[in-house]
Amino acid sequence: MASTDLQEKSMAQPLDNKKTGSKPLIIFPYMGYEKNKQCEWYFWWTIDRCKKIDPRPLVVVPRDTVIRGDAASFIKDERFKTLEVVQTWSVDSCQTWLSGWGHVLDNYPDVDRIVQIPGDIDFVLEDVEFYNNLSNFIETTSSDIAIGDFRTGDQYSAKSLVDTYGTYSLLANWFPEVSRSIRSLPLNRPRSEFLNIKTSVLRDLLINHRNFAYEQTLNFLIKCWNYDEAKWRYNISISRLGTLSDNKSFRNYRGSIDQIERIDRMLSLLWREIKAPQKKDSVSDKQFEEQYTVFSNEYDKLFTKSNGIMDTARTTLRALLGV
């Protein structure tokens, strides 16, 4: 055990040469791939593609995944020694993202971009084409933010259900202008975990704005919108990857509802934060009170509509999933 711990710590040491153009960051599957050879195959295929831009990609592994033994074969794999591995305690995969981003920003201050890729790819239709597209996405440097977009082969997969009956409707309710602009990019998966972003932009979004332990890509998109000028603050591009599916173990009513509820919770909080009137010296107390009344009334209307969307989502999902 002691030798393994030392090996893990040594893998977490950053490279001496920190002036690489992009740093790839792969999120290790929370459930591991001990019983999923296909997921293991795709994981290492992803690593190979990342090594085209960095000989030692960064892999972030949830600490509880290691303790459960779900990363045992990964740690024993000879290829493990070629990676930079960071273990972290996280309540959600997006918090694992934060740990990975922070590690890169702290240890690679001169890196131009961070390329994040999920490591839990379970099924890919036309996998050679997908990984060719993924290579192009990894090597993208022309935009401030590049988002990897994809289709799902199953309209009843968790990703499809959550986006169809949750993300799209709730986003249109709370932020209609952002919703329209996302669709015109066009971007089908605003919660995508495939993210290629300039480190300067990431620093701004992490340091100067609220962060969440979930739905960070959607959060970034909302924060990248200029509400005064009605346009994007940064140059955003979309990379078409292909068709993939998520792990079928998450295809259930409870999991889908959990995700939809947290999306609504984040959107409503962001709306209050962005739309709340600010007290200015030129505004009297009475005028500010009137502004706040208008703000509160508008929030109550949107909150009521949001509850209706949630009720419809629950009813529809129960019918589709046969619960």
CATH number at residue 86: 3.90.550
Nearest to 124 by CA among 240, 246, 35: 246
Question: To 5 degrees, how large is the angle CA 221–CA 155–CA 132?
Answer: 65
Instruction: Answer yes or no: is 8 within a domain.
Output: yes
> Where are the alpha helices (H) located in 139-252, listed in sequence order?
158-162, 168-174, 176-184, 199-207, 216-223
pLDDT in tens, the chain (323 residues): 433 443 444 344 444 434 459 999 999 999 999 989 999 999 999 999 999 999 999 999 999 999 999 999 999 999 999 999 999 998 877 789 999 999 999 999 999 999 999 999 988 988 999 999 999 999 999 999 999 999 887 777 777 889 999 999 999 999 999 999 999 999 999 999 999 999 999 999 999 998 888 899 999 999 999 999 999 999 999 999 999 865 444 457 888 899 999 999 999 999 999 999 998 989 999 999 999 999 999 999 999 999 999 999 999 998 888 77
- Domain holding 56, by residue range, is 2-154+178-249
Q: Within 91-196, where are the H helices?
A: 93-107, 127-138, 158-162, 168-174, 176-184
Q: Give CA angle at 34 (82, 130), nearest 5°.
A: 65
Q: Beta strand pairing status for 145-151 and 195-198?
A: antiparallel
Q: Is residue 260 part of a domain?
A: no
Q: In 10 A of CB 250, how many CB atoms? A: 18
Is residue 254 in a domain?
no
**Residue 98 belongs to a domain:** yes
> Is there a domain that residue 237 lies in?
yes
Question: Considering only CA atoms, which of 250, 255, 249, 253 is closest in space to residue 35?
Answer: 249
- Tell me how far apart the alpha carbons of residues 242 and 125 are, in angstroms, rounded to a whole number: 7
User: In the chain, how many domains are there?
Assistant: 1
What span, in angstroms and rounded, lies between the C-alpha atoms of 88 and 97? 10
Query: How far is it, in rounded angstroms, from Cα 298 to Cα 47?
Result: 48
Assess if residue 90 is contained within a domain: yes
The answer to the question of residue 322 being in a domain is no
* E-assigned strand segments in 212-265: 225-226, 231-232, 236-245
Q: Angle of helix 216-223 relative to helix 253-275, nearest 10 degrees?
A: 20
Residue at 263 is within a domain: no
pTM of the model: 0.90
